[in-house]
Amino acid sequence: MTSRYADLSRAELAVLVPELLLIGQLIDRSGMAWCISAFGREAMAQIAIEEWAGASPIYTRRMQRALGYEPVPNHGDVVTIFKGLQLDIGAPPQFMDFRYTVHDPWHGEFHLDHCGALMDVEPMGPEFVRSMCHDIEDPTFDATAVATNPRAQVRPVHRPPRVPAGRKPHCRWTVDIDESHPPVSPLPAFHVVAATRAATVELDPIDPADEGAGDYTGPLLADLDFAAFSRSALVRIADEVCLQMQLLNLSFVHAVEQRAADQEQLREVCLKQLTGIAGIAAERIHRALGLPGGAEGALRVLELHPLLNPAAYVGASVAEGVLTVRTDPDDSDAQADGAWVALCGPGSTAPLQALVRGVDPRLDVEVTGSERDWTLRVVEGADEAPEAGEVAVTRFSTGAAFVFEPRRSLPITPV
């Protein structure tokens, strides 16, 4: 299945990839609000731990393989870990401004000059900050590192709540790999997510003859210059980043299911999460690529939206102004997994409405067909619809309006 990003230019892809990484981070700005409401702060923290620990080892290894920096199994170094973070929806560039130091292959550190997640949570008070920066980060940093080396330990030097107030950098961590460290084992959620079709979906290989970098095998760079990658590599990265989101969502669904009172509550929480991120993601993609307005622009955003990507995973197509979604599991791995698209259809249009209204609040959708196959047309009305509450909740994040800045890409050498 040809990628839906394959017809974008190299320049457009270089703009889109960091946008997709940031959108992936904002999934939790949408989802966790509803988890707090339904289950409380402590349960929310446990959901976040299981969500990230279930997905990140899988998608970290996928990106390593895709860009050629995959280590000998279980023997990766700190540079491999840091490269993975640069291409992880958990650490989108600039919004989560990781600065890296490499002492030698087995010892390094990083600090965050700016932590967008902290900016979002800090106004909620020290208990919420402690949940994120202590309860959630400790197991999930190690869960991410285990994809590279199970004897890696990520430990804080300092972290929020910030003392004194306004302390910079926002946090500092060491990364040490030592054979004497007890190996970290994946959490049970990992095995559940590893059994999904999303974990093993095959994407188009990178064309080594394409102009530009086709891998990330060279030195660690302080800031990735996405424009330096080849068009083929950027297509693959975009698809992998969307798959990161799909995997994270599947892990989220599993974690919520363990706590939901019934299937109705599970669906309600997951639908709110999708509706919130659908609208903000559409708005950012539309603006970043300078796409046209109206129904034409909305349909193009639909094609590029993480909801329907990667194409090899989500069975859908756009032709003659109509989106057709295939819901037979034989035609769509996403449907078989119960991914985001499985929450949409003729009887469930809220995420689709939020998505098109991220382009223009006067737009709506007409969804017809059956649970097995359905089609969508974008229609224009005279009046602007109010913003969905789920989108407004996600817009609370500073990431909703975050603007990327140009940066130089400099190699990092051991100090």
Q: Does residue 301 share a domain with residue 193? A: no
Per-residue pLDDT, 384: 95
For residue 1, being part of any structural domain is answered with no
Per-residue pLDDT, 74: 86
Per-residue pLDDT, 120: 96
Q: Does residue 20 share a domain with residue 136? A: yes
DSSP string, 258-308: TT-SSHHHHHHHHHHHHHHHHHHHHHHHHHHHT---HHHHHHHHHHHSGGG
Q: Does residue 227 share a domain with residue 361? A: no
CA distance 203 to 59: 13
Q: 100-125 burial, b for 16+ CB within 10 Å, e for fewer?
A: bbbeeebbbbbbbebbbbbebbbeee
Structural domain tally of the chain?
Answer: 2
Per-residue pLDDT, 356: 98
Per-residue pLDDT, 305: 98
- Preceding omega of 160 cis (within 30 degrees of 0): no
Q: Does residue 92 share a domain with residue 223? A: yes
Q: Does residue 230 share a domain with residue 316? A: no
Q: Does residue 326 share a domain with residue 277? A: yes
For residue 345, being part of any structural domain is answered with yes
For residue 404, being part of any structural domain is answered with no
H helices then E strands: how many in the chain?
13, 8
Per-residue pLDDT, 381: 87
Say which residues have a Cβ less than 8 Å from residue 48's Cβ, sequence separation at least 6: 28, 32, 35, 132, 136, 140
Burial of 73 from C-beta contacts in 10 A (0-12 / 13-18 / 19+)? exposed
Q: 151-175 burial, b for 16+ CB within 10 Å, e for fewer?
A: bbbbeeeebbbbeeeeeebbbebbb
Q: Which amino acid is at 268?
A: E
Q: Does residue 152 share a domain with residue 281? A: no
- pTM beyond 0.75: the answer is yes
In this structure, are residues 90 and 25 in contact, taking their beta carbons and an 8 Å threshold?
yes
Q: Does residue 204 share a domain with residue 286? A: no
State both tokens at 337: 């997994």
CA distance 312 to 295: 25
Q: Which amino acid is at 171?
A: C
Q: Does residue 332 share a domain with residue 212? A: no
For residue 407, being part of any structural domain is answered with no
Q: Does residue 394 share a domain with residue 282? A: yes
Instruction: Identify the helix (H) or strand (E) that includes residue 155.
Output: strand 152-158
**Average pLDDT for consecutive 10-residue bins of the chain (415 residues)?**
94 98 97 97 97 97 97 94 98 98 98 96 95 94 89 96 94 97 92 98 97 97 97 98 98 98 98 98 98 96 98 94 90 95 96 98 95 90 94 97 93 83
Per-residue pLDDT, 378: 97
For residue 141, being part of any structural domain is answered with yes
Q: Range of 371's domain?
A: 263-399
For residue 181, being part of any structural domain is answered with yes
Distances (CA, A) of 328 to 335, 374, 397: 7, 11, 36
Q: Does residue 184 share a domain with residue 43? A: yes
For residue 411, being part of any structural domain is answered with no
Per-residue pLDDT, 409: 87
For residue 248, being part of any structural domain is answered with no
Q: Does residue 276 share a domain with residue 207? A: no
Phi, psi of 139 (to 5 degrees): -75, -30
The whole-angstrom distance between residue 28's C-alpha and the CA centroid of its chain comes to 9
Per-residue pLDDT, 382: 83
